[in-house]
Structure 1
């Protein structure tokens, strides 16, 4: 299947799926496809109930509700990407930019994980920033790579950061709380320890993080303004 057809079908399916599950679909879904991953970037995606929860500072309730829906929805999305679009998805990640009503769903594709992607200006410095920020919260990554999906979207993939305490919390059923707390802290550390705007001469629009605890992989994704 050609690239344009994959993007068109994925856009249509994702919009309908989100509308059916959440009661309201995003205003727009932009889909980016490269060798390593497919990115579904959701814009203006916030229902009236979710707006109310956030206005009442009920972030935990907001995240818990979305977590439940996403957990039930992701297998269906993965099946569509794999069976209908013939994309070999090995992992799915997602995160929300709550206060600007954005979100991302990322499907990591079956590519040669340990073949480093091509170099770009600032890559080595970026990895140093990420290593420093990561080490303050968890184990230093055993492996890290990054690539530009397009001129506005930078993706970072890490492996081997999960610590023993986190594994125990997950086994005790606290994965949701761990994910929410860790996400908040890591975003704060990334904002504190990285200085990407002068490095890439671009203004950051959003930052997303997520973990595949089962595979001990984690993603960071930056979007930049035009």
Structure 2
């Protein structure tokens, strides 16, 4: 963690506990693991074993879309409540949140962000890794969307790497977003994620470790998406 925020360790542990309690109160079941990390005015939340009995019923009935809709709506209210706690604990005014869920592995990622997030420079070694990842992401992305024009790499912790890609949207995607057709964009995002998952071994070769989870979060408003690699 950045030295600037090292003094926030206890606050982050408290926020992790607070968020777990909020999720349990809102969903009727809290996650087994809820780990909050701070980097550049962004909070990354890693969740494990969070699926509720109601969601299990929907998933068993093949209604994954309904399960995701349910989770998304409840998470909106949880975010608003949690954002107030983050202001009190860290002085960060969280404006947006993004999420992705892996129901098969029962894991999930939340990204909570302050509008004025400022990136930090990578180390030389990370710059080399960034270059190789950018090349691979560019190769994969051109099959389904525009090649991103900018990429940033952030090591969240020893097992979690975040890649932010900016400038990926095709003109038709921008039009769909402007017209409010988020359902079509969500279906498309699933297809894109499946493509990245099918190329998982290629990313493992670059990262030098097994990828046990891959999460993709979408910000259509700013024309960017985030990839989290959960490493073994």
> Same fold, TM exceeding 0.5?
yes
Q: TM-score, normalised by structure 2?
A: 0.85
Question: 171, 190, 193: which is aligned to 2:178?
Answer: 171
Consecutive aligned runs of 4 or more in structure 1 exceeding 6 Å deviation: none
Say whether residues 1:142 and 2:149 are aligned partners: yes
Aligned match for 1:57, one of 54, 59, 62: 62
Aligned pair in 2 of structure 1 residues 142, 201: CA closer, same or farther (>3 Å)? closer
Are residue 26 (structure 1) and residue 31 (structure 2) matched? yes
Question: Following TM superposition, by how much is the alpha carbon of 1:151 offset from its aligned partner in structure 2, in angstroms?
Answer: 1.5
Q: 1:177 and 1:34, CA in 2 relative to 1: closer, same or farther beyond 3 A?
A: same
Query: Is 1:125 the equivalent of 2:139?
Result: no
Q: Distance in 2 between matches of 1:197 and 1:112?
A: 28
- Asked whether the equivalents of residues 148 and 168 of structure 2 are also in contact (C-alpha less than 8 Å), the reply is yes
Q: How does 1:185-200 map to 2 (within 5 A)?
A: 185-193=191-199, 195-200=202-207
Q: Greater shift after overlay, 188-197 or 37-46?
A: 188-197
The TM-score with structure 1 as length reference comes to 0.88
| Paired position in structure 2 for 1:213 | 220
Shift of 1:127: 1.0
1:153 aligns with 2:157: no
Consecutive unaligned residues in structure 1, runs of 5 or more: none
Deviation at 1:176, TM superposition (A): 4.0
Name 1:184's counterpart in structure 2. Answer: 190
1:99 paired residue number? 104
The count of residues paired between Structure 1 and Structure 2 equals 223
Unaligned runs of 5+ in 2: none
User: What RMSD over aligned residues (CA atoms) do the two structures have, in Å?
Assistant: 2.2
